[in-house]
């Protein structure tokens, strides 16, 4: 049985409420949680984030309604925990979720589409191309790097900068 099938089986088994099955699921998910935390947390926060995420999953697993939703739910918890730890360590929140939620809630779908299009148009072409390639065409970083003739780290940097500039445009 492949690892993905093992995780699906573990999720289904854990839904029965058996603590041993939940423990098995957490063991299977821990490498994914760690890998995702390493990408989203300050390096000093990775271990703390992994432990907190495992505790949150153990406490709130019963709230997962569909097996297919588990991975997305788990990664959302990791992202949120990394942000929380980062805010605590740096006394700074670059992703002010309340501000973003307020901004989104104050606009209808047509207004959001227009403002997103305006934000994309405001970007320099090389940033816009990378952002569109990744977020709309869903290309991998390696594919984008090959397409634009840049290194993978340079492509990641350009994508990060493009997202930051678009966010600043939208929230200003």
- pLDDT higher at 4 or 22: 22
What is the tens place of the pLDDT at every residue in 59-107? Answer: 888 877 778 788 888 988 998 888 888 777 766 555 566 766 777 778 8
Q: Which two tokens stand for residue 146?
A: 């090959």
pLDDT of res. 105: 79
Give CA–CA dist 140/162, Å, rounded: 16
pLDDT of res. 85: 85
Instruction: Name the average pLDDT for the chain.
Output: 85
pLDDT of res. 72: 86
* pLDDT(42) > 70: yes
pLDDT of res. 23: 92
- How many CA atoms lie within 13 Å of 63's alpha carbon, on the beta-carbon side? 8
CB atoms within 10 A of CB 152: 13
Query: Is 162 within 8 Å of 108 (Cβ atoms)?
Result: no
Domains of the chain: residue spans and CATH: 3-90 (1.10.1740.10), 97-171 (1.10.10.10)
- pLDDT higher at 76 or 172: 76
Query: How large is the average pLDDT for residues 135-163?
Result: 91
- pLDDT higher at 8 or 50: 50
Torsion region of 64: left, alpha or beta (phi above 0 gives left; psi -120 to 50 gives alpha): beta
Q: Where are the alpha helices (DSSP H) in 15-140?
A: 19-40, 46-60, 70-90, 97-105, 109-122, 125-135
């Amino acid at each position: 049985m492949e690892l993905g099938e093992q995780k699906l089986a573990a999720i289904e088994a854990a839904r029965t409420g058996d603590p041993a099955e939940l423990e098995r699921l957490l063991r299977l998910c821990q490498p994914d949680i760690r890998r995702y935390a390493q990408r989203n947390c300050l390096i000093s926060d990775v271990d703390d984030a992994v432990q907190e995420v495992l505790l949150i999953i153990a406490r709130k697993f019963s709230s997962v309604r569909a097996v297919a939703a588990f991975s997305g739910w788990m990664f959302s918890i990791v992202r949120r925990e990394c942000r929380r730890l980062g805010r605590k360590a740096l006394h700074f929140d670059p992703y002010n979720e309340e501000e973003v939620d307020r901004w989104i809630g104050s606009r209808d779908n047509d207004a959001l589409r227009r403002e997103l299009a305006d934000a994309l148009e405001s970007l320099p072409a090389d940033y816009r191309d990378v952002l569109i390639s990744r977020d709309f065409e869903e290309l991998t970083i390696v594919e984008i790097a090959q397409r634009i003739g840049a290194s993978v780290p340079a492509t990641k940097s350009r994508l990060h900068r493009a997202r930051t500039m678009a966010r600043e445009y939208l929230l200003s």
